[in-house]
Structure 1
Amino acid sequence: MTSRSNPQYTVPGITVQDAGTVIELLQQRLHALNDLHLTLKHVHWNVVGPHFIAVHEMLDPQVDRVRDMADDVAERVAALGGVAHGTPGALVKERSWEDYSVGRADAIAHLGALDVVYTGVIQALRAAIKTTGDIDPATEDLLIEQLRDLEQFQWFVRAHLETAGGSLATAGVATETEAAQKASVR
């Protein structure tokens, strides 16, 4: 059995070396998506307050779509000749971010923290799209489709954090905890 990223073969028109680059990039996307869907469920289970039902029900379709995204990424890794590492241990060992830091909290606090989470996922995805664009247009297309959905989900989150005047409660924050606190104050 093999667990390495560099494939022995790949799809026509892409070198094995370039496929290895794309597989490594997709592996990080897979970890990010698996982490995101678990984080969204965590929020779904731990959200409280007057906006509970709106947020609770908003998150399940996001969870479902993010899980589908992870499946698409893992299948692309396999198509390129790689091995998709989807175990919790691999995710924790290979990720470059910390666990979601907010427990049971008000809906607006969780949404503030999720805004920061989505920003990180989207920024990394945009970098991945830039890299894959020169190597593999099929992977680039897959990632662009996911970007559209993730940006829409962040818009749903931000709609709860935006004032009628257009300012965002989480503007300028760097951490989930800071975003949760700042969002809750409004």
Structure 2
Amino acid sequence: MAKNGKAKLHPTKHPLNANLRGSMVELLQKHLGTAIDITYQTKQAHWNVKGMNFIAVHKLFDELHETTEDYVDNIAERLTALGGQAHGTVQASSENTVLDPYPLDLVKSEDHLKRLADSYAKWSSELIKGIEEASEAGDDLTEDLLTEVGRGIDESLYFLESHFQSA
């Protein structure tokens, strides 16, 4: 970020104007940080889960981790296509994420499932806001990307919550 809080952009022939690209880069930095955070929250759960249905939940967390890694790459590449500089380190992600820190002492599968569901739900809510922001700004491609990520996050939330929902 530049000193004025606006994203510094690399020269590009991208057709969107610089102000719009700068605001979308800022929006995407937040979602990149969140994507990296949720990727490793999910891996933290994968590594440390214990209890009933261990193998099924262990494998689910690994699948969710792989899915969110794709979101990281897609968001970072859109951000850089707009002329931005992706801030994808763990330190940068911790500054940009919208998620609460993941507890390091969780063990039981139900606790991990519920805590991850909280994170996925929170990001889903932020994605909806981001979709609206990109739409209002007229950046159809960023809107489409965030919509695609949002669909996946909502599906993952369904997978997580289905473990503890009942009729």
The question of whether the paired residues in 2 share the 8 Å contact of 1:9 and 1:80 is answered with no
C-alpha separation in 2, matches of 1:114 and 1:95: 15
**Of 97, 100, 103, the match for 1:98:** 100
The question of whether the paired residues in 2 share the 8 Å contact of 1:108 and 1:161 is answered with yes
Q: In the alignment, is residue 149 of structure 1 matched against residue 152 of structure 2?
A: yes
Give secondary structure in 2 for the equivalent of 1:26. helix
Q: Deviations over 1:136-185 (max 9, x none)?
A: 0011111111111110000000110101x2xxxxxxxxxxxxxxxxxxxx
In structure 1, what is the equivalent of residue 109 of structure 2?
A: 107
In structure 1, what is the equivalent of residue 139 of structure 2?
A: 136
Q: In the alignment, is residue 25 of structure 1 matched against residue 18 of structure 2?
A: no
Instruction: State the shift of 1:102 in Å.
Output: 4.7
Give secondary structure in 2 for the equivalent of 1:162. coil
**Of 11, 19, 40, the match for 1:38:** 40
Unaligned runs of 5+ in 2: none
**Of 69, 72, 76, the match for 2:74:** 72
The normalised TM-score by structure 2 is 0.90
Instruction: State the shift of 1:94 in Å.
Output: 3.3
Instruction: State the shift of 1:9 in Å.
Output: 4.0
In structure 2, what is the equivalent of residue 171 of structure 1?
A: none
**5 Å matches for 1:51-90?**
51-90=53-92
Instruction: State the shift of 1:95 in Å.
Output: 3.3
The normalised TM-score by structure 1 is 0.81
Cα distance change of structure 1 residues 32 and 136 upon mapping to structure 2, 3 Å threshold = same
Aligned sequence identity (%): 32
Larger Rg: 1 or 2? 1
- Amino acid in structure 1 at the alignment position of 2:149: Q
Q: Which moved more, 1:90-99 or 1:44-53?
A: 90-99
Instruction: State the shift of 1:96 in Å.
Output: 4.3
The question of whether the paired residues in 1 share the 8 Å contact of 2:33 and 2:95 is answered with no
C-alpha separation in 1, matches of 2:163 and 2:35: 23
Unaligned runs of 5+ in 1: 166-186
The question of whether the paired residues in 1 share the 8 Å contact of 2:98 and 2:123 is answered with no
- Count residues in correspondence: 161
In structure 2, what is the equivalent of residue 159 of structure 1?
A: 162
The question of whether the paired residues in 1 share the 8 Å contact of 2:37 and 2:99 is answered with no
The question of whether the paired residues in 1 share the 8 Å contact of 2:37 and 2:94 is answered with no
C-alpha separation in 1, matches of 2:164 and 2:71: 26
- Amino acid in structure 1 at the alignment position of 2:129: A
Give secondary structure in 2 for the equivalent of 1:54. helix
